[in-house]
Chain A
């Protein structure tokens, strides 16, 4: 009953819409946010401005309401959970903005190199130019770092690469795209967290050099290795296809995108070496030549 009641109130709010302050209901009576509130985005943007000045600790709902030019009651109607809920919405909104900009860049790219360079520059520039993020990194690092370490970092890598992978799948199989998307995300995060003195990923020339030098050769090598040992790294829970099939289907498209002749264009046993027997054409066997014993 309570759920139905809340749903009805949301419907009611939609129809009433545009007169938020006129509602006679107590704003947080049922804890359900009024997602249709026209003020939600204004509150989020006002919060970003507050965060860029004072961080999370000193930003109050009053500050946010003043910045947005609305009443406290309006803020609470849009976000019954108050400060915590607003901060959550800020993270969600900023992620959505980052991803939508990224989607435009990736969608307009005409080849794999362009997609990688454009995507890395776009993400890096947005992270660096983010005033609220910059304040938090400087004054409340724990707030930001909590999202970037260990388990949380895995979650972020998963979220970002699930979004990016389908764009890259135009040039490679879905499993490869998942892997490359994750790799690109790692690169963005590494240089964002600890900037390099020599490589500025906001600079397209620097990023192009990094992508051409380190990433594209790795993708080509990965591509020739994947069919031999199908490691399931498909970013989607449903609709998986055998990576062997998809790799052979997409082999031609990756080779078309690459500028050099590819050693193996199809997962044929004689041209695609099994990683455990010949992982690298010019290097010794990893397991037979190594006197290890620590991982066997």
Chain B
């Protein structure tokens, strides 16, 4: 039952999936290395070999893993979009819905925000960079307004996407008309070329 070699990526992946199942069942605080090992059908030693930091490392890693999973689904959802406007609209609408429907995230947010949030904040920096890099080709294709730096615009848009999907505020992001207005009128007006009222140089 106990593998002897170094942990292969599949083992790590299996342990993370198992840990996520445990978190969904019991929450972050009550999930132990034993639980994860039992769920993954590996030994404790195997878990420790993959995650030498033990439980703390496992919890951080599972938040990171779940975040990456979330944004991988988001990528799947929007990667065939043909324009900057479309990718932003579809991305915001889908991410908003997915966060609301994410049972595990919602429950852990309610019961253990103190464990989840610091890990999630570290992740959000990585995610922001990921979103920005993803948007750059769309910005190049669309063309940015005069005087706008593409990298700077991508970072700004990524920040705004994260802000709106995690807290919609006054916006109803289930309404496609509102999402279109948010993206086209508000977020992109200063960013893209030929905006309706770009500032003079």
Do the beta carbons of B163 and A286 come within 8 Å of each other? no
Do the beta carbons of A215 and B181 come within 8 Å of each other? no
User: Nearest Cβ in chain B — how far from A109, in angstroms?
Assistant: 19
Which residues of B are found within 8 Å of A145, using beta-carbon distances?
113, 117-118, 121
Do the beta carbons of A153 and B167 come within 8 Å of each other? yes
CA distance A259 to B176 in the complex (A): 31
Do the beta carbons of B117 and A186 come within 8 Å of each other? no
- B137-169 interface bits toward A, Cβ cutoff 8 Å, 1 = contact, 0 = none: 000000001011000110110011011101111
B69 within 8 A of A: no
Given contacts A142-B114, A213-B190, contact A290 B169 (CB under 8 A): no
User: Nearest Cβ in chain A — how far from B3, in angstroms?
Assistant: 36
CA distance A170 to B77 in the complex (A): 41
Which residues of B are found within 8 Å of A296, using beta-carbon distances?
176
B196 within 8 A of A: yes
Do the beta carbons of B118 and A279 come within 8 Å of each other? no
- The residue of chain A having its C-beta at the shortest distance from the C-beta of B144 within the complex is A213
Given contacts A158-B169, A229-B177, contact A214 B190 (CB under 8 A): yes
* A168-197 contacts to B (CB < 8 Å): 178-179, 182-183, 186-187, 189-191, 193-194, 196
Do the beta carbons of B168 and A149 come within 8 Å of each other? no
Given contacts A216-B190, A218-B189, A222-B186, contact A149 B85 (CB under 8 A): no
Given contacts A157-B167, A217-B190, A286-B85, contact A292 B113 (CB under 8 A): no
Which residues of B are found within 8 Å of A214, using beta-carbon distances?
153, 156, 190-191
CA distance A233 to B180 in the complex (A): 16
User: Nearest Cβ in chain A — how far from B97, in angstroms?
Assistant: 8
Interface size on A, residues (CB 8 A): 65
Which residues of B are found within 8 Å of A150, using beta-carbon distances?
99, 109, 166-167
Which residues of A are found within 8 Å of B30, using beta-carbon distances?
none
User: Nearest Cβ in chain A — how far from B1, in angstroms?
Assistant: 38
User: Nearest Cβ in chain A — how far from B93, in angstroms?
Assistant: 6
* A246-266 contacts to B (CB < 8 Å): 258-263
- A146-164 interface bits toward B, Cβ cutoff 8 Å, 1 = contact, 0 = none: 1001110110011001000
* B160-200 contacts to A (CB < 8 Å): 160, 162-164, 166-172, 176-178, 180-181, 184-191, 194-200
CA distance A221 to B120 in the complex (A): 33
User: Nearest Cβ in chain B — how far from A176, in angstroms?
Assistant: 10
B134 within 8 A of A: no
B94 within 8 A of A: yes
* B63-108 contacts to A (CB < 8 Å): 77, 83, 85-86, 89-90, 93-94, 99
CA distance A295 to B179 in the complex (A): 11
Do the beta carbons of B109 and A149 come within 8 Å of each other? yes
CA distance A145 to B200 in the complex (A): 39
- The residue of chain B having its C-beta at the shortest distance from the C-beta of A149 within the complex is B117
Contact of B125 among A179, A194, A292 (CB under 8 A): A194
* A73-95 contacts to B (CB < 8 Å): none
B124 within 8 A of A: yes
CA distance A229 to B179 in the complex (A): 12
A112 within 8 A of B: no
Which residues of A are found within 8 Å of B171, using beta-carbon distances?
233
CA distance A53 to B149 in the complex (A): 41
Which residues of B are found within 8 Å of A52, using beta-carbon distances?
none
Contact of B160 among A186, A235, A259 (CB under 8 A): A186
Given contacts A141-B121, A150-B166, A225-B185, contact A217 B195 (CB under 8 A): yes
User: Nearest Cβ in chain B — how far from A255, in angstroms?
Assistant: 10
Given contacts A145-B121, A229-B177, contact A221 B166 (CB under 8 A): no
- The residue of chain A having its C-beta at the shortest distance from the C-beta of B176 within the complex is A295
A198 within 8 A of B: yes
User: Nearest Cβ in chain B — how far from A101, in angstroms?
Assistant: 23
- A262-286 interface bits toward B, Cβ cutoff 8 Å, 1 = contact, 0 = none: 1100000000000110011111101
Do the beta carbons of A221 and B113 come within 8 Å of each other? no
Which residues of B are found within 8 Å of A275, using beta-carbon distances?
177, 180-181, 184-185
Which residues of B are found within 8 Å of A217, using beta-carbon distances?
145, 189-190, 195-199
Residues of chain B touching chain A, judged by Cβ–Cβ distance below 8 Å, are 77, 83, 85-86, 89-90, 93-94, 99, 109, 113-115, 117-118, 120-121, 124-125, 128, 145, 147-148, 152-153, 155-156, 159-160, 162-164, 166-172, 176-178, 180-181, 184-191, 194-200
- Offer 11 A-B interface pairs, CB within 8 angstroms, sorted by A: A142-B117, A149-B120, A161-B170, A189-B163, A190-B160, A190-B162, A262-B197, A275-B181, A279-B185, A280-B185, A286-B89
In the A-B complex, the 5 residue pairs with the closest CB atoms:
A217-B190, A221-B189, A142-B114, A153-B167, A145-B117
